[in-house]
Structure 1
């Protein structure tokens, strides 16, 4: 639906509240903010704010200005994470306007595949390490492959499953082949998996590794009882990936550091069980679609 059709629809339907994500299209978001004056609806900004550890550039400063404009013209700001809350406070937005609506996958659909009250014991699963996401430079999949090689885990029957597609798919296949036949037989590119197929793959794995920019893949893995090894992502990882409780947070982006972490976690059965239990418990306690829904209901009730 085009911008003008959406604005025409809003003018005819006259909603009380409109929730918008300012990052999706800033020209439309600006039009939406300005049109609220004439149409009379109120706005709720739903936003991830900014990614952690970003560089301060002209582009990031422009983004800050836009986010301040959106937030200051909204009744409330619904934040994806605690990092987003801190970000909007740093812009000068009052805490009274800031609420949490933790980013979540469709956990209702997930529960149609399996019962998630409990998940298979992590040590009874296949010796699979898993990556889920786009095969793109920002995801550091090449570094992950090198770390898996350095860890030597492939010599003990472990397999690295790489789930996803993207512009680096061909070159990553070449990288794997370059390590020789013994190693290449321990790396599996599955292509894109969704729904039941993805859920099955996760329930059959022992560890999820997301060394680059991740996001909802963290939620998905943890809902399946998978500990997550994560680098800086979109900010939600700071609420979910808790060192030695639900996974490991990478403070060093090198393959050598990641290889050491893989050896440490996989080599300690008690730690792996502890991380699996913590990941499952935390993700289902703070990051479900039901909780997200209730967060928005609370916001709408406060507006009324």
Structure 2
């Protein structure tokens, strides 16, 4: 029986559908899915891994990150030994140049005869000459790249991958599993939980609250607007949340809920728009599934594919608070714009960028390599 192994630093809640669906698909094709999922340290916030097992052949390992200056180095403890025992046909890795295990697997693939695939986000938080030099040696060593989006494809090509070595998968969530409520029903639910919202129109941020999300840009935009008819709902947790709480201590136009995973749907359904001035990605997909217009910066690069400027939302070109304030005003004050942009968002995420298409792209390429 063929074996395909995924090695992920963290398996988050949004990965569950991916791996369970692939496991089912693979079983129909006489292929075993093996998942190596990293366990983060206790008390981690923001991007954290699930503790529970989500597929039958899943092994947990200790995952460690070390900050050295502006760089992050990673360790996968015990994974190399398990891969040697497993002898898989294909190994899929998150593409992190600072992970020693990745370099070791590149050397091991010739000895064991497996294909090595990159799960390629294509975004560098700390680019530099040294990293660029390492990436030009690192990227070409993968046999194939699953690129999150068109920008990730360009990233892989710019560091030495060939055109035939990259498949754009359009990373997403299963929009078919998302139940939507009528706006007024969703607002009623939220008002019961957060009566301070009142009759104000909701601007929404959902995601890990990290410095690179640039939530301060939303706050600054609201300061410029000085509107009494809007409130920011900030849903999420992360290392940067204490900074945001301190910045909002004297504000009455921001409601901070903390992390919500199950039951977050009504927050999207009650909102006027979804805001993401900094990095991130899948929050955009979820907002689109709930028929929201998007106001986004570069995100992780996915917004270039997902957000059609002026059609399903707005792309921030400068990323400034003034620019964001202008886009918010345009959506709020143009009759029918929120609804029409939201409808286009929904059309895109249930069509070209649908989960079924995402799974088909991954499955077909992996079966080809196995």
Alignment TM class, shorter chain as reference: 0.7 to 0.9
Q: Is the deviation greater in 39-48 or in 282-291?
A: 282-291
CA RMSD for the aligned pairs?
2.5
Q: Is the 8 A contact 1:224 1:280 kept in 2?
A: yes
Q: Normalising to structure 2: TM-score of the pair?
A: 0.70
What's the CA shift for 1:88?
1.8
Q: Which of 304, 310, 326 in structure 2 is aligned with 1:244? A: 310
SS at match of 1:253: coil
Unpaired runs of at least 5, structure 1: 179-183
Q: 1:91 to 1:275 in 2, by over 3 A?
A: same
Who is 1:130 aligned against?
A: 204
Q: Which of 206, 210, 226 in structure 1 is aligned with 2:292? A: 226
Cα deviation digits, residues 45-82 of structure 1 (max 9, x gap): 1201235xx785225414523542xxx33332111101
Q: 1:185 to 1:55 in 2, by over 3 A?
A: closer
Who is 1:49 aligned against?
A: 122
Separation in structure 1 between the aligned mates of residue 102 and residue 126 of structure 2, nearest angstrom = 24
Q: Is the 8 A contact 2:183 2:269 kept in 1?
A: no
Normalized per residue, the structure richer in strand is 2
What's the CA shift for 1:209?
0.7
Count how many residue pairs are aligned between Structure 1 and Structure 2: 284
- Is 1:78 the counterpart of 2:146? The answer is yes
Q: 1:91 to 1:272 in 2, by over 3 A?
A: same
SS at match of 1:232: coil
Cα deviation digits, residues 184-212 of structure 1 (max 9, x gap): 3321111111122x112111111011111
Unpaired runs of at least 5, structure 2: 1-60, 63-75, 188-199
Separation in structure 2 between the aligned mates of residue 152 and residue 287 of structure 1, nearest angstrom = 36
Q: Which of 140, 148, 157 in structure 1 is aligned with 2:214? A: 140
What's the CA shift for 1:241?
1.4
What's the CA shift for 1:222?
1.2
- Is 1:173 the counterpart of 2:237? The answer is no
Q: Normalising to structure 1: TM-score of the pair?
A: 0.84
Q: Is the 8 A contact 1:121 1:273 kept in 2?
A: no
Q: Name the structure, 1 or 2, with higher relative contact order (CA <8 Å, separation 6+).
A: 1
Normalized per residue, the structure richer in helix is 1
Q: Is the 8 A contact 2:209 2:240 kept in 1?
A: yes
What's the CA shift for 1:149?
2.6
Separation in structure 2 between the aligned mates of residue 175 and residue 288 of structure 1, nearest angstrom = 37
